Amino acid sequence: MTGVASGGAPARPPALELMDVHYTYPDGHKALRGVTLRIETGERVAVLGPNGAGKSTLCLQLNGILQPTDGSVMVSGLPVVGKNLKEVRRRVGLVFQDPDDMLFMPTVAQDVAFGPSNLELSEEEVRERVEHALAAVGMEGVGGRSPHHLSFGQRKRAATAAVLSMAPEVLVLDEPSSSLDPRARREFGEILAGLSQTILMVTHDLPYAHEICERAVIIDSGSIVADGPASDILGDAELLAAHDLELPHGFVMDHH
């Protein structure tokens, strides 16, 4: 149920909510130290930070691949715990950095159909979802091809379609622009900009964060050290430098 604003009815829960999340790897490395983050439905948030800051660990908490050592994670009000993981993974789609980690079937269409075909949908509905997801990433007509015959940028889009076919509410992308050539990077950015999902994007690519996200969060040594409008955070050279982040030489912020 979505709440109504008047009459004191409960408002809609945030798309993602992390409350004082700590995560320690089995070897004792503390990757997250008290992360609290609330992302509303429809927001697009970039997670920035130096290598080893905990960004990827944070992504893996959002659909329960890793579970907090302490604290809690909620997806649209649903706790990310064992009994809810199937539903959590339907709601939160994770697009990994390397599409080859996600594509393993003989054809693109079979990869995109893989998730929905496990949802007890009719064949017709699975087929519709596959078409819809391929269209959303500009890959109509590519379904019959082998992923191995596609360019890296096309594989990235196919992997994204495989997540979109599950009709997730939230899309979490780990380094979405890495290894893409300039044209593929631009095309993928345009695809992301056209999606309706709540988006959380971990990236080193600060111009990409600025193009796609209106909010940015900096995580360093497992803690959130800044959270605000992307244009403010990316416009603060001292803040970026303090966390080993740097805009490309000659990049000029256009405040939109």
Q: Which domains, ranges and CATH numbers included, belong to the chain?
A: 12-98+167-242 (3.40.50.300)
Name the residue among 89, 71, 66, 47 with its Cα closest to residue 175: 47
CB distance 90 to 163 below 8 Å: no
Digit-coded pLDDT (tens) for 3-15: 445 556 568 899 9
Tokens coding 235? 């416009």
Share of the chain above pLDDT 70, in %: 95
Q: How confident is the model at residue 110 (pLDDT cuts 50, 70, 90)?
A: very high
- Locus of tokens 């050592």: 69
Long-range CB pairs of 187-190 (<8 Å, 24+ gap) are 187/138, 187/153, 187/157, 188/153, 188/156, 188/157, 188/160
Name the strands in the sheet holding 223-229, side by side, starting at the edge strand that comes first in the sequence.
92-95, 170-174, 198-202, 44-48, 215-220, 223-229
Region of 167 please: left (phi>0), alpha (psi -120 to 50) or beta.
left
Digit-coded pLDDT (tens) for 117-175: 988 899 999 999 999 999 999 999 999 999 999 999 999 999 999 999 999 999 999 99
